[in-house]
C-alpha cells in the first residue's frame, strides 16, 4: 500500500505552460482522506512553492531547493546553508565563464540576469527575485546556487562547475539550462529519506515521479519510481516504471490508478 507520494514540479507535475493538472485539487484531497502523504519536491524555493500551494501549507510536505530547505506541514524540518566564501567564489567563477547565477536564500532569490529573456526565464520559476549587478554583496543565508547557461549547460558549464566544486559540494544537473550547487549530501532523496523515517514509511510504500538528474536520488528511494516519457535518458534507466509526458496529466493518472482506484 502506497503511503507517501513525492513529485517533481517542472517537466513532471506541471505541463510545459507551468500549469498544474486540472484535477489536482480533487486528487490531492482524496489522498488526504486516505491519509496518504503528498510531497512537492522541487528545485524551486519555498517562497515560490508556498504561493502556488497556499491552500495546502498545513497538509503537504515541501522539499525545496533540491532538498536544502524542507518544510513539513508548515514546520521547518531542515535547512542547509552554504558557506559564504563558497558563494562568493562560485559567483566570481561563473562570471568569468559568462554564466548567469541565482542565489536562493532565506530572504529571496538574487540574480545577475544578463538580458530580458534570462530575466523572464528566472521569473517563471522564482518569486521574490531581485536583480543585482554584484552578487558578492548579497547578505543572506544561501541554500542553493543555481547556474544558468542559455545555450544549454550539460556539455560545457556543468562540466566546469563539477570540476571546480564537485569534490566538496553537490553539483547537480537540474535541467537543460540549469546546474545547482548545494552542500554535500543535500539531495531530494536525502530529504525524502528523512520524511520516510519521520512518519514511518518504507521504500515499498513510497511513490515518486521525476524527469531530470536532480531527481535520481529521490527515485532511488521509492519502489514506485516513475520516469516521465519526456525525462532525461539517465532518469529512464534509474526508475522502476515509465509513464507518459508532463503534458498528459501522467502523474495524476498514475496516482489515481495505483492509490485511488
What is the three-class DSSP state of 255? helix
pLDDT along the chain (261 residues), means of 10: 97 96 97 98 93 95 97 96 97 96 93 89 86 94 96 94 97 94 97 96 98 97 98 97 98 97 87
* CA nearest to 255, candidates 232, 226, 231: 226
Cell of 106: 532565506
Beta-bridge mates of residue 224: 207
| DSSP single-letter state for residue 83 | P
- Report pLDDT for 115: 87
Last residue of a domain, one of 130, 151, 183: 183
What integer pLDDT is reported at residue 123 of this predicted model?
Answer: 85
- Report the number of distinct structural domains present in the chain: 2
Give the domain range for residue 128. Answer: 84-183
CATH number where 102 lies: 3.30.1240.10
Residues 75 and 192 in one domain: yes
The whole-angstrom separation of Cα 227 and Cα 209 is: 6
Task: Count other C-beta atoms under 10 Å from residue 78's C-beta.
Answer: 16
Q: Give strand pairing partners of 129.
A: 109
> How far from 214 is each of 51, 64, 79, CA to CA, in Å?
23, 12, 18
Task: Give the pLDDT of residue 124.
Answer: 83
pLDDT given for residue 122 in this prediction = 87
- How many whole angstroms separate alpha carbon 206 and alpha carbon 232? 22
Determine whether 182 is exposed, middle or buried from the number of CB atoms within 10 Å of its CB (0-12, 13-18, 19+).
buried
pTM for the predicted model, two decimal places? 0.94
Task: Name every residue whose Cβ is closer than 8 Å to that of residue 115 and which is 6 or more positions away in sequence.
Answer: none
Handedness of CA 26, 27, 31, 37 (dihedral sign): negative
Domain boundary among 160, 183, 206: 183
List the one residue out of 148, 76, 71, 72 whose CA is nearest residue 109: 148
The Cα–Cα gap between 41 and 1 comes to 21
Do both 199 and 72 map to the same domain? yes
Q: Is 164 helix (H, G, I), strand (E, B) or coil?
A: helix
Q: What pLDDT is stored for residue 125 in this prediction?
A: 86
Do 90 and 179 belong to one domain?
yes
Same domain, 157 and 126: yes
Residues in the chain: 261
CA distance 250 to 243: 6
Domain shared by 168 and 207, yes or no: no
Amino acid at each position: 500500500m502506497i503511503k507517501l507520494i513525492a513529485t517533481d514540479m517542472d517537466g513532471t507535475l506541471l505541463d510545459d505552460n507551468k500549469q498544474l493538472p486540472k484535477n489536482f485539487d480533487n486528487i490531492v484531497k482524496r489522498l488526504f482522506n486516505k491519509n496518504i502523504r503528498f510531497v512537492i519536491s522541487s528545485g524551486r524555493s519555498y517562497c515560490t512553492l508556498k504561493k502556488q500551494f497556499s491552500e495546502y501549507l498545513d497538509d503537504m510536505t515541501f522539499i525545496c531547493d533540491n532538498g536544502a530547505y524542507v518544510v513539513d506541514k508548515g514546520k521547518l524540518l531542515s535547512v542547509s546553508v552554504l558557506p559564504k566564501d563558497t558563494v562568493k567564489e562560485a559567483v566570481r567563477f561563473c562570471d568569468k565563464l559568462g554564466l548567469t547565477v541565482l542565489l536562493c536564500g532565506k530572504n529571496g532569490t538574487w540574480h545577475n540576469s544578463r538580458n530580458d529573456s534570462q530575466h523572464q526565464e528566472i521569473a517563471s520559476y522564482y518569486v521574490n527575485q531581485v536583480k543585482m549587478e554584484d552578487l558578492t554583496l548579497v547578505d543572506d543565508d544561501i541554500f542553493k546556487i543555481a547556474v544558468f547557461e542559455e545555450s544549454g549547460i550539460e556539455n560545457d558549464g556543468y562540466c566546469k562547475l563539477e570540476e571546480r566544486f564537485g569534490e566538496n559540494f553537490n553539483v547537480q544537473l537540474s535541467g537543460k539550462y540549469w546546474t545547482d550547487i548545494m552542500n554535500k549530501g543535500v539531495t531530494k532523496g536525502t530529504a525524502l529519506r528523512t520524511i520516510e523515517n519521520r512518519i514511518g514509511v518504507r521504500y515499498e510504500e513510497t511513490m515518486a515521479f521525476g524527469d531530470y538528474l536532480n531527481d535520481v536520488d529521490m527515485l532511488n528511494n521509492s519502489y514506485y519510481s516513475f520516469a516521465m516519457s519526456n525525462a532525461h535518458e539517465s532518469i529512464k534507466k534509474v526508475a522502476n516504471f515509465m509513464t507518459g509526458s508532463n503534458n498528459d496529466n501522467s502523474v495524476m493518472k498514475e496516482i489515481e490508478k495505483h492509490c485511488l482506484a
